[in-house]
Amino acid sequence: MNTPQLRSAAWFDGDDEVAVLHRVAAGITAEDRGRPVIGIADTSSQLNPCQAGFAAVLEPLERGIRDGGGVPLRFPVMSLGEDLMKPSAMLYRNLVAMELEEQVRAHPLDGVVFLANCDKTVPSALMAAASTQLPSLLLLGGARSAPLFAGRRLGSGTDLWRALENRRAGTLDDAGWQQLEETLACAGGGSCNTMGTASTMALVSEALGMALPGSTGCAVGSAELADLAYRTGRIVAASAAAGAPGADQVMTEAAVANALRLVAAVGGSTNAVIHLAAIAGRLGHHLNLAQIDRLWAEVPLLADVEPCGSQLIHDFHDAGGLASVAAALLPHHLLDPGVVLADGRSLADLAATAPSDQTVIRSYGDPVLPAPALVVVSGSLAPDGAVLKTAASSPELWQHTGPAVVFDDYADMRARLDDPERVVSPDAVLVVRNCGPVGVPGMPEWGMAPIPAALAAAGVRDMVRVSDGRMSGTSFGTVVLHVAPEAAVGGPLALVTDGDLIELDVAGRRLELLVDAAELERRRAAWQPAPDEHLRGWPRLYRDHVSQAPSGCDLDFLASPTAASRRFVPPVVGRS
């Protein structure tokens, strides 16, 4: 068998002064020469507690790379933490994907392990992997623990939002609220322990063949996570040494379709739809929302995990994770059994290892909720579509018509939601607009307006809400998200005024603004985009080039499959 030409050879082979300089700079010894160099893209940061688990897995990861025949070299990458980064880590997802691509392009790397754990680090790594086209895998950093509060385990995000509802309804006092904060602080680092965006994207990574099966819900700091790290390093090094296909070849169209159906089956985050559209765009498998709705049509909710169920992500992991969900769906021809996973097994082979207990991950015939768990709606209020997680919503609101209560942006919502002068009826439809990719910019998780305090105190627990923003994967409610086109670019959401009737029809997949066409034309003629505030740097570049949600909110100059091959090396690898 021919030894594949390593990309790093362009830097390290030879005996001139340039090759010497390169080998010395990278610490390449005589023994290392001819081995693939495996980059470890390290997103650890004290500004991002979700990535805290990586310190403990670096040693086994590097050992795995060495044992696989490679040379590990670690480099830092910007970290995207959901909680502290404003206006939203989503604003920076594409920046990190681009940073990763450029780091890989500029350096002598033959393969990459991406350390990714929080909501946006995972999709940014998958996008970069698609574009850099090298053998690569993600190493996920583990899920955080679940401390007890009032006798039950606290689910990240979901139980904070529930407590907020109770506080607004007057059933949780200040002492209880403070006790909740102290308990949350005991959870430590790691990804959210619910089926939020991070867990959903972890499962997506497994389904795409980009993370080892069993990664989702693996406990932070566990011996199992250390073993996953070792095996990840070993596989990537061995793949690079063997000239195995790059990540762009691993993430097939069938794998993307599997991932979308799995998202529905686990009641996964709506954010995954945007991320998968972006990943698919970079692979040349263009998705549209109608196609996605068809994929979801027969997929029920199988995972009894918060926010759609009662258990936590550790329980999902212990119940077999991907193996068990696949075992439930494969007999119904809802997944492609031949998709190859990161450890080389097919999905069907993995499903054959699923445990028999079906308490947390149910059978297809005994689901947590019937299909569909997610839907796409469209109509006069969302001509290019919007997404609703039916599994986290109220069936009695699936056919609903109510008067709009409009908030022009997030600040307006925060300021006026509880305005005693503004009477909001329980059948109202709360509209929060100008939260889209262009509007903020960055499309924060501002779509889920809380129930107005007066209604919450009266026992109202859900209302129809409509937004061009996103919501946390740990959230719940009848919230229609990602309305496209967004208000900031003149989508119909911009034309809604208080009192307009809005109709949501889940069965018909419709979202309608019941205002006659002539009136809408009059409003459109009067509509003005927001003044172009002075933006500079990345937000400027982002706003000028970002696509709408159905296309994944990628930047137009990054969104297509790259022409740069995995063997890309600069035309001249000389002195810098």
Does position 203 bind ligand FES by CB under 6 A?
no
Beta strands in 21-129 (DSSP E): 37-42, 71-76, 111-116
Q: ∠ at Cα 7 (4, 9), nearest 5°?
A: 90
Q: Which is nearer to ligand FES, 118 or 262 (CB)?
A: 118
State yes or no: residue 142 binds ligand FES (CB under 6 A): no
Q: Which range, of 107-115, 189-197, 216-224, 398-406, touches ligand FES by CB under 6 A?
A: 189-197
Size of the site for ligand FES (CB under 6 A): 10
Q: How far apart are CA 21 and CA 14, in angstroms?
A: 11
Question: Does 274 contact ligand FES by CB under 6 A?
Answer: no
- In the range 411-440, which residues lie near ligand FES by CB under 6 A? none
Decide whether 131 or 270 has the Cβ nearer to ligand FES: 270
* Closest distance of CB 51 from ligand FES, Å: 8
Count of CB atoms situated within 10 Å of the CB of 389: 29
Helix, strand and coil in the chain, % to nearest 5: 40, 15, 45
Q: d(Cα 299, Cα 297) in Å, to the nearest integer?
A: 6
Kindly state the tokens that stand for 28.
Answer: 């390449």
Toward ligand FES, which CB reaches closer, 145 or 191?
191
Q: Which is nearer to ligand FES, 116 or 229 (CB)?
A: 116
Question: Is 50 or 236 the residue whose CB approaches ligand FES more closely?
Answer: 50
HSE, side-chain direction, 13 A CA sphere, residue 223? 0
Pick the piece of the chain touching ligand FES (CB under 6 A) from 32-40, 132-140, 188-196, 212-220: 188-196
Q: Is 119 in the site for ligand FES (CB under 6 A)?
A: yes
Q: How far apart are the first and last CA of the chain?
A: 35
**Binding status of residue 196 toward ligand FES by CB under 6 A:** yes
83 binds ligand FES (CB under 6 A): yes
* Shortest Cβ 151–ligand FES spacing (Å): 24
CB-wise, 36 or 190, nearer to ligand FES?
190
With CB under 6 A as the contact rule, which of the stretches 191-199, 209-217, 263-271, 337-345 interacts with ligand FES?
A: 191-199
Binding mask 147-176 for ligand FES (x = CB under 6 A): ---------x--------------------
The nearer residue to ligand FES, 196 or 491, going by C-beta atoms, is 196
> Angle, to 10 degrees, between the axis of helix 253-265 and the axis of helix 321-329?
100
Q: Over 528-542, what HEC string results?
A: CCCCCCCCCHHHHHH
Comparison of 83 and 556: residue with beta carbon closer to ligand FES: 83
Least distance (Å) between residue 223 CB and ligand FES: 22
Which 39-58 residues touch ligand FES, going by CB under 6 A? 50
Q: Which stretch binds ligand FES (CB under 6 A): 192-200, 367-375, 391-399, 562-570?
A: 192-200
191 binds ligand FES (CB under 6 A): yes
Which residue's structure tokens are 């709705």? 293
The one-letter amino acid code at 483 reads: V
Strands 152-153 and 148-149: antiparallel
Q: 32: buried, middle or exposed (CB in 10 Å: 19+, 13-18, 0-12)?
A: middle
The amino acid that residue 168 corresponds to is R
Comparing CB distances to ligand FES, the nearer of 201 and 302 is: 201
Taking the least distance from each CB to ligand FES, the nearer of 47 and 458 is 47
The candidate with the shortest Cα–Cα distance to 87, out of 470, 553, 479, is 470
| Residue from the set 118, 391, 451, 464 that interacts with ligand FES by CB under 6 A | 118
User: Least distance to ligand FES from the beta carbon of 200, Å?
Assistant: 10
Does 198 sit near ligand FES (CB under 6 A)? yes
Ordered alpha helix ranges (H), 320-417: 321-329, 347-351, 410-416
264: left (phi over 0), alpha (psi -120 to 50) or beta: alpha
List the alpha helices (DSSP H) in 214-288.
223-242, 247-250, 253-265, 271-283
Residue in 246, 247, 231, 240 with CA at minimum distance from that of residue 70: 240
- Site of interaction with ligand FES (CB under 6 A): 50, 82-83, 118-119, 156, 191-192, 196, 198
